[in-house]
Structure formats: structure tokens, C-alpha cells
Amino acid sequence: ALFLLEDFLEYPPAIPPLIGIGVLLLLLRNRIRIESLLEDVDWSTLVFFIAMFIVIKGVEDLGVMEFIAREIYSFSTDYMVLILLILWVSAIVSAFVDNIPFVMAMVPVIAAMAKAATLNPIPLYWALSLGGCLGGNGTLVGASANVVVAGIAERHGYTISFRSFIRYGMPVLMLTVGLASIYLVLRYVILG
């Protein structure tokens, strides 16, 4: 219910889950020890994500995202090439930078680029979305789920190294982004 009132009451999106967690902890305070809950938190993964969001915000504030958009657009004004560039650049960047903050930072850049060039932004957003999602499969740090699974595996005695993940992840990235390229060209260039 709190999510539905977010726009009306004008509070940040983090407030409903924080209130929910607070209420849940109050209700369960006699049944569960808070200390045992805190012991089960994967702190290294949590700190990793906090640091990643800080780095992405810094990169965004430095103008790196706008620079990437300008470089992509200056490389070609051909619509098909632009769609494929956004797809592949976002896939490659998302393989090495967590895809969630990267895509969040790039959405306004894509919007500005589409508006300035009077282009239909929908194929560009699809290229960014597919590139960001599929690119995250390439490396261990590319997607939040990868980092979480590696943390859980390590707690159970299995180590997933960056190098071993790339051995399987990069072929998956290349195949899926290649298929996405075919789809985007067929859907938005050939079939219009």
C-alpha cells in the first residue's frame, strides 16, 4: 500500500521497504535475535554494491556517460549502426560495471541523444536494455545476481573466480547479444 501512495505523499522509493522491514522486525523481535539476522547478512556483497553505486554516480557526475553517448553518436548517424552500437557498447560496459546503475545512468543520455537527433527512442532503449541485461552475463561483476551467487557459493565452500566465470560467461554474452542484434535489426530496421 505504501508503494501506491509514493507519488501522492512524495517520499523517496526506499521508504516503503524500510518501514516494512522495521514493522517486521518489531513483530518478530521476541522470536528472532537481531544478532543472528545480522550474522547471516552477506556484508561483502552489500559493501560491493554500495561501492559500485558510488563509483557509478561519480562517473556520471564526471560526464563519462555523456561522453560515451557523444562518441557513439559521432561514430555514425545511421540508425541501424546507432542501435547496434548502443547494444554492443552497453553489453561490453555492463560486463565490467554492474548493469543496474549503468543502465540507470544511460537512460537520460539515450533520451537526450534521441531528442537531439530527432530519432525514435524506443529501439535505442531496447538496445540499451538488452545490452545491459545480456552484457551482465559476461563477467562475475556484470550483474547483481552473479555477485550474490558467488558470495553464497563461497560461504558454502565453493569459489567462483572472475577468470572461471568469464570462461563461460563471455561466450554466452557473445551469443545472446548476437541474437539480440539480429532481432533489433529485423524488428526496427527491416520490418520497421
**Grid cell for residue 190:** 527491416
**Grid cell for residue 92:** 561490453
Instruction: Note the pTM of the prediction, 2 decimals.
Output: 0.68
**Grid cell for residue 33:** 535475535
**Grid cell for residue 93:** 560496459
112: helix, strand or coil: helix
Whether the CB-CB separation of 102 and 132 falls below 8 Å is answered with yes
Q: What is the pLDDT along the chain (192 residues), one digit of tens a residue?
A: 666 666 677 777 777 788 888 888 888 877 877 777 778 888 887 887 788 778 878 877 888 877 877 777 777 778 899 999 999 999 999 999 888 888 888 888 888 788 777 888 999 999 999 999 999 999 999 888 998 899 899 989 999 999 999 999 999 999 999 999 999 999 999 997
The C-alpha angle 135, 17, 129, rounded to 5 degrees, equals: 20
**Grid cell for residue 191:** 520490418
